[in-house]
Amino acid sequence: MTKSILMVLTNTSITKNGKKTGVWFEEFAVPYTRFLKEKYTITVATPVGDNSPIDPASCYFAETGDYKSAEEGINNVKKLDTLSAEDYDSIVLPGGHGPMFDLAKDLTLAKMLESFAKKNKLIAAVCHGPAGLLRACINGTPLVAGRRITCFTNEEESVNHKEDILPFYLEDRLKELGAKFIKKSPGEINIVEDNNLITGQNFQSSEAFAEAIVKWLSK
């Protein structure tokens, strides 16, 4: 049976100090293209239903391969609160700094993630995508508590000189919620799997992240 994937993207285009941000294109395009190859049904959604802005710093990636389908997909979105978790086999959260400003506090996304978790459906997030997990709880306990997880690390924020645009450090916030944080060196590919939760550390992990999702869904 064909798998159905929900990819949830940010609507945030500007950081707290006025710098442009959005979704990191590679983190969307690589999984999206891989899912098409598997003939999955893909729905792209954002909190307000408008198209997700692409972080300008990531636009170069569109020229590195055939990502025209992904470019079309990112411009064909639905409003998140019009969708039902019941219709999907997996939810996937690409990063970019944008999710730290909207997905991190989106109640609709939190409720949807709770539904996925309770039914042991796959939840996957890469780089800053795990910001979307922060508000979700299971019976009052943070969804990430006690779970092995990764994200774009504090060190990677520093190496890339992003401290001034951050509303918070995602690594720290995940730890505060009780996550068991697993990290590697800046830029190193790192995929962490914990039952139905798959996370990737950075955009360099995008391909391995997509492959891990496909492998999990093929079980």
Q: Count how many Cα atoms sit within 13 Å of the Cα of residue 6 in the half-sphere of its side chain.
A: 25
The verdict on pTM exceeding 0.95 is yes
Q: Where are the beta strands (DSSP E) in 105-177?
A: 122-126, 137-138, 141-142, 148-149
- Least Cα distance to 149 among 159, 136, 158 occurs for 136
Domain count for the chain, please give it. Answer: 1
State the pairing for strand pair 90-93/122-126.
parallel
CA distance 92 to 122: 8
Per DSSP, the three-state class of 156 is helix
Domain that holds residue 121: 4-217
Nearest alpha carbon to residue 209 among 169, 132, 151: 151
Sign of CA dihedral 107, 5, 2, 118: negative
Cα–Cα distance between 189 and 184 in angstroms, integer? 8
Q: Give the chain's largest Cα–Cα span.
A: 46
Q: Where is 211: in which H helix or E strand? A: helix 206-217
**CATH code for the domain in which residue 26 is found:** 3.40.50.880
Q: Are 146 and 112 in contact (CB under 8 A)?
A: no
Mean pLDDT by 10 residues, the chain (219 residues): 95 91 98 98 97 96 94 96 98 98 98 97 98 96 98 97 94 98 98 98 98 97
Cβ pair 197, 116 in contact under 8 A: no
CA–CA distance from 168 to each of 7, 70, 174 (Å)? 24, 29, 11
- Alpha carbon 47 to its chain centroid, in Å, reads 14
pLDDT of residue 22: 97
Q: Is 84 exposed, middle or buried (0-12, 13-18, 19+ CB in 10 A)?
A: exposed
β-pair partners for 200: 126, 191
Instruction: Answer yes or no: are the C-beta atoms of 198 and 124 closer than 8 Å.
Output: yes
